[in-house]
Amino acid sequence: MAIELKMPALSPTMEEGTLAKWLVKEGDTVSAGDVLAEIETDKATMEFESIDEGTVGKIVIAEGTEGVKVGTVIAILAGEDENASDIEAPAAEEASDEVKDVPGEGKDVGREGNPLDVDKPASKPRASDPEVPEGTNMVKLTVREALRDAMAEEMRLDDRVFVMGEEVAEYQGAYKVTQGLLDEFGPKRVIDTPITEYGFAGIGTGAAMGGLRPVVEFMTFNFAMQAIDHIINSAAKTNYMSGGQMRCPVVFRGPNGTASRVGAQHSQNYGPWYASVPGLIVIAPYDASDAKGLLKAAIRSDDPVVFLENELVYGQSFEVAQLDDHVLPIGKARIMREGSDVTIVSYSIAVGVALEAAAELAEQGIEAEVIDLRTLRPLDTDTILESLAKTNRLVIAEEGWPTCSIASEVVAVCMEQGFDHLDAPVLRVCNEDVPLPYAANLEKLALIDKDRVVAACRKVTYKD
Amino acid sequence: MAKTSTSKSSESPQPATEEGAFPLHSLQDALEKEKRFKPSDEQLMHFYEQMLLIRRFEEKAGQLYGLGLIGGFCHLYIGQEAVAIGLQSALDNDRDSVITGYRDHGHMLAYGIDPKVIMAELTGRAAGISKGKGGSMHMFSTEHKFYGGHGIVGAQVSLGGGLAFAHKYNEDGGLCLAYFGDGAANQGQVYETMNMAALWNLPIVFVVENNQYAMGTAVRRSSAETEFYRRGTAFRIPGMDVNGMDVLEVRQAAEIAFKHVREGNGPVLMECNTYRYRGHSMSDPAKYRTREEVQEQREHHDPIERVKKDLAAAGVEEDKLKEIDKGIRATVGEAADFAEKSPEPEANELYTDVLVGEY
């Protein structure tokens, strides 16, 4: 059977090229791998190889021809049982049988999708926190204990759950979050890793792909930058790239944000980084109850979760309901304090700052509503917008840089979806836009504090 | 051997007693004793069919790329067929797992996965194995314990470490076969993983598919130690130096390595020396090597020609092989038709599979 040789596309963007030179002539015998011609693309001169055996029957496009469209028949190869001289060139109109760009069946380069065809899933109402039955005993727990209890409870329930990271086992945790876990669960399930973040993040991610439920602790999220490829490229994208075949139920957890006097490399909030990535769940709790309930939910989630804690909050105590199974919904913000004059949106350690500011504002006759986002992705925009509709004024308090921050995202949400409710511009109260300095006075100047939040709230309520 | 004069070395093998000899050579010694696996006639024929399927599939993929039906990057496995077939034919598919990089078509075909759903993934169609959302570099079959298909060079090695970790944790007796190239062999995380795999005695076989070029960079231009099988020495991982152009030698090496790992001895590092005939990806003009070098490999080291010779020696007629080739061409042709004609994903698929849960 005669084989039509067509002008090949030799790069993802090539649509036509120049047939620079034929290296065979009619009647030549060729075998697989022989170079037939040289073709110039927009990027390079490429050799065009034969993948079949046969005899060159007809050269249809002469060398030196420019602008030969991809898919045009350039030569005919006679098969084993044919006489090359019998081969006829195809009629001129057939010579350009370029693959048409027909949606659903054609070639795929540069096609524009029709947005009207796309049925974007509507956001659903989010689950609320389960009711705590009346008479439930409340206990005081530090955030550190709450996190440990969450892991221990989930490890008791599910053999697939294990904890790995630097100093998590014998040292009992660099920040003592994993204290006692080795004693209860043994070295098979509480695993000290070498200092090798990229490697163990990959091993944790791979173990999740293999059906386990790893909790990977980073001593701090600053060190997770060495591992961010696995968090994003391996964990977040695999379910999508595999058409839903490959789950990756891993939790990456550890302290995030500014600690105390440790300088620039150990002090950064990665919330906005991870929250920008589809395929990830990002949680950043403030108090002990949320830390426990959301970490348990994170470990049970079938999706990869980045769980951002804060070292400065680890030792703070909060009331936690003493329940057999205290699990909270991912993706739901929490109203920490109700108010009617201004909304303060916050998360993680900055919630404490926002609450302090709200107390001071109350003394000045301004009632602030404080929202703890708790989950940064997916973001509970409904709760933000409902509060905005009530107060008409909004400030974001974020312990992190202002540029491309969660605060920036909340501002965008307010502009796009809450514009008609706004009586004042939305203000961001973030850290200063500098690497964190070491000197005590400079560090203090760089970080958000109550006074700045109060000032912003007074500004949007036109008190100043 | 596929070690060409342009690549890592042309010197003859050093006797084990000389200075600089590789200390962790017990598995290599076992291989030297009996270099080639002795297949049954049926097995040999099956190797031939599988390798030829990969070759014809990849040739067709190259053609479809040329027609604009396959987009983006497309890395062909032509020339390297003996590696995937030699190794994967020795697996216990009920428990073992495999992971590789982006040059992954051959490893999937080695499982006997329908060429149609692989080709349809290459053309980005709904019937593709990843629903058209992964493409050439991102294909998976969890059903077969094939875990991809990964686009970031070297990332699959630590992920493979995790799969091996899961085998050990679950005590399922399985091992992970983690492939990477000579380029990926210079990534730091490969060694982070070797360290932990040896430290924790994980059931993993690291396979360097040394095709002599990391994109356009020859091994000797990128690597201080070009004998990749020696690179586990720092972690006390035994190494094996295997002719990746001979499916029977690869299979023999696999038998030795898998036995070692299954007996609880921890990881093995195997270097399979092979050669890719085509460019790194379809848009590679391959100016970094001569045509003569490629032709020399094709003419004198081709893994499929080698099996053909073994089959001839076993008394299989040339006509029989032609018949098989014809059948495989037809299968591949059907896969290509299917991949061209089946519909693209529905627009709504844009939003599916981002997350598993609802929040």
Q: Which amino acid is it at A212?
A: L
What local confidence, expressed as pLDDT, does residue B302 receive? 97
All residues of chain A having their beta carbon less than 8 Å from the beta carbon of residue B76 are none
When mean pLDDT is compared across A151-160, A323-332, B4-13, B89-98, the lowest value belongs to B4-13
Mean pLDDT, chain A, rounded, equals 91
In this structure, what token pair is assigned to residue B296?
């020399």
pLDDT at A90: 53
In chain B, the residue whose alpha carbon lies closest to the alpha carbon of A14 is B68
Query: A21 to chain B, minimum CA–CA distance in Å?
Result: 15
Residues linked to residue A428 through DSSP beta bridges, in sequence order: A396
Which chain A residues in 20-49 lie under 8 Å from chain B, judged by CB atoms? 32-33, 35, 43-47
Residue A112 — pLDDT band, cuts 50, 70, 90?
Answer: low
Q: How many other CB atoms sit within 10 Å of the CB of residue A403?
A: 11
Per-residue pLDDT tens digits for A7-28: 888 777 788 889 988 989 999 9
Q: For chain A, what percent of residues have pLDDT higher than 70? A: 91
Contact between A370 and A454 under an 8 Å Cβ cutoff? The reply is no
For range B58-76, the mean pLDDT? 91
Mutate one of B57, B67, B280, B340 to test the A interface: name it (highest A CB count within 10 A): B67
Looking at the DSSP bridge assignments, the partners of residue B347 are none
* Residue B20: predicted pLDDT: 67
Distance in angstroms (rounded) separating the CA atoms of residues B242 and B273: 6
CA B181 – CA B158 distance, rounded (Å): 14
Whether the pLDDT of residue B9 is over 80: the answer is no
Q: What is the pLDDT of residue A11?
A: 76
Counted across chains A and B, CB pairs separated by less than 8 A come out at 233
Q: Which of B129, B294, B357 lies nearest to residue A301, judging by beta carbons?
A: B357
Run of H or E including A440 = helix A440-446
Distances (CA, A) of B100 to A275, A371, B154, B160: 29, 45, 9, 8
Q: How far apart are CA A14 and CA A36, in angstroms?
A: 19
C-alpha A219: how far from chain center: 20
Asked if B337 has any chain A CB less than 8 Å from its own CB, the reply is: no
Tell me the pLDDT tens digit for each residue of A227-265. 999 999 999 999 999 999 999 999 999 999 999 999 999
* CA of A20 vs chain B CAs: smallest distance (Å): 14
Residue in the block written with tokens 């760009």:
A101
> What is the per-residue pLDDT across A413-430, written as a single tens digit (0 to 9) for each?
999 999 999 999 999 999
Residue type, B306: R
Asked if residue B353 has pLDDT above 90, the reply is yes
In angstroms, the CA A369 to CA A371 distance is 7
Reply yes or no on whether the pLDDT at A226 is more than 50: yes
Q: For residue A1, what pLDDT band results from cuts at 50, 70 and 90? A: low
- Sheet containing A305-309, strands listed edge to edge, beginning at the edge strand earlier in sequence: A190-192, A161-165, A213-217, A251-255, A305-309, A281-283, A375-377
Q: What is the DSSP string of A176-241?
A: STTTTHHHHH-TTTEEE--S-HHHHHHHHHHHHHTT-EEEEE-SSTTGGGGGHHIIIIIIITHHHH
CB atoms within 10 A of CB B203: 28
pLDDT of residue B11: 44
pLDDT of res. A50: 80
Say yes or no for a CB contact (<8 Å) between B357 and A245. no
Measured CA to CA, the distance from residue B316 to residue B44 in angstroms comes to 11
User: What token pair was written down for A117?
Assistant: 């065809």
What does the pLDDT look like over A164-195, one tens digit per residue?
Answer: 999 999 999 999 999 999 999 999 999 999 99
pLDDT(A87) > 70 = no
Q: Are B341 and A105 in contact (CB under 8 A)?
A: yes
CA B186 – CA A385 distance, rounded (Å): 50
Q: What is the mean pLDDT of residues B68-83?
A: 94
pLDDT exceeds 80 at position B5: no
Q: Looking at residue A78, what is its pLDDT?
A: 84
**Residue-level pLDDT at B13:** 46
Token pair in block for residue A217: 């602790």
Task: Please state, in angstroms and rounded to a whole number, the distance separating the CA atoms of residues A272 and A450.
Answer: 22
Instruction: Report CA torsion sign: B275, B278, B284, B286.
Output: positive
What are the residues facing B209 on neighbouring strands? B181, B272
Question: Does the beta-carbon distance from B193 to A199 stay under 8 Å?
Answer: yes
Residues of A in contact with B277 (CB under 8 A): 33
- How many C-beta neighbours within 10 Å does residue A330 have? 26
- For chain B, state the CA radius of gyration: 20
| pLDDT attached to residue B32 | 96
Q: Kindly state the average pLDDT of the residues A126-148.
A: 95
Inform me whether the pLDDT recorded for B100 exceeds 70. Answer: yes
Show the tokens assigned to A149.
Answer: 């209890």
B280 alpha carbon, distance to own chain's centre: 14
Q: Smallest Cα–Cα separation from B211: which of B282, B275, B154, B271?
A: B275
**How far apart are the C-alpha atoms of A452 and A360, rounded to whole Å?**
12
Q: Note whether A114 contacts B: Cβ–Cβ < 8 A.
A: yes
Min CA distance, B17 vs chain A (Å)? 34
Contacts of A376 (CB under 8 A, 6+ apart): A271, A272, A274, A275, A282, A283, A284, A308, A347, A406
According to DSSP, the β-strands at B204-210 and B268-273 are parallel
Closest CA to A195 of A228, A161, A235, A224: A224
Q: What is the pLDDT of residue B35?
A: 97
Window B:111-140, CB contacts with A under 8 Å: 123-124, 128-134, 138-140
Higher pLDDT, B203 or B290: B203
Q: Pick the residue with more confidence: A109 or A127?
A: A127
Q: Is the ipTM of this complex over 0.90?
A: yes
Tally the C-alpha atoms within 13 A of residue A101's C-alpha that lie toward its C-beta. Answer: 10
> What spatial distance separates the first Cα and last Cα of chain B, rounded to whole Å?
55
* Residue ranges in A259-405 assigned as alpha helix (H): 271-275, 288-300, 350-363, 381-391
- What is the pairing mode between strands A138-142 and A317-321? antiparallel
Residues of B in contact with A108 (CB under 8 A): 68-69, 71, 123-124, 344
CA A252, distance to chain mean position in Å, is: 12
More confident residue, B208 or A118: B208
Between chains, do A114 and B347 touch, taking CB under 8 Å as contact? Answer: yes
Q: What is the pLDDT of residue A392?
A: 98
Give the per-residue pLDDT at A88.
Answer: 61
Average pLDDT score, chain B? 93
pLDDT digits (tens, 9 = 90+) for A45-76: 787 878 777 889 889 999 999 999 888 899 99
DSSP state of A268: B
Q: Tell me what pLDDT residue B6 has.
A: 43
Mean pLDDT of A211-233: 98
**Which band of pLDDT confidence, cut at 50, 70 and 90, is reported for residue A30?**
confident
pLDDT bracket for residue B194 (50, 70, 90): very high
Predicted confidence band of residue A322 (pLDDT cuts 50, 70, 90): very high
Given a contact cutoff of 8 angstroms between Cβ atoms, the answer to whether A200 and B194 are in contact is no
**Which pTM value belongs to this model?**
0.91
A110 touches chain B (CB under 8 A): no
Q: Is the pLDDT at A117 greater than 50, yes or no? A: yes
Find the mean pLDDT for residues B247-274. 98
pLDDT for position A101:
52
Whether B3 shows a pLDDT value over 90: the answer reads no
Contacts for A186 with CB less than 8 Å, ≥ 6 apart: none
Higher-confidence residue of B22 and B255: namely B255
The answer on pLDDT for B45 being more than 70 is yes
Query: Roughly how many angstroms between the first and final C-alpha of chain A, as a whole number?
Result: 87
Measured distance CA(B284)–CA(B278) in Å, rounded: 8
HEC readout, chain B: CCCCCCCCCCCCCCCCCCCCCCCCCHHHHHHHHCCCCCCCHHHHHHHHHHHHHHHHHHHHHHHHHHCCCCCCCCCCCCCCHHHHHHHHCCCCCCCCEEEECCCCHHHHHCCCCCHHHHHHHHCCCCCCCCCCCCCCCCCCEHHHCEEEECCCCCHHHHHHHHHHHHHHHHCCCCCEEEEEECCHHHCHHHHHHHHHHHHCCCCEEEEEEECCEECCEEHHHHCCCCCHHHHHHHHCCCEEEEECCCHHHHHHHHHHHHHHHHHHHCCEEEEEECCCCCCCCCCCCCCCCCHHHHHHHHHHHCHHHHHHHHHHHCCCCHHHHHHHHHHHHHHHHHHHHHHHHCCCCCHHHHHCCCCCCCC
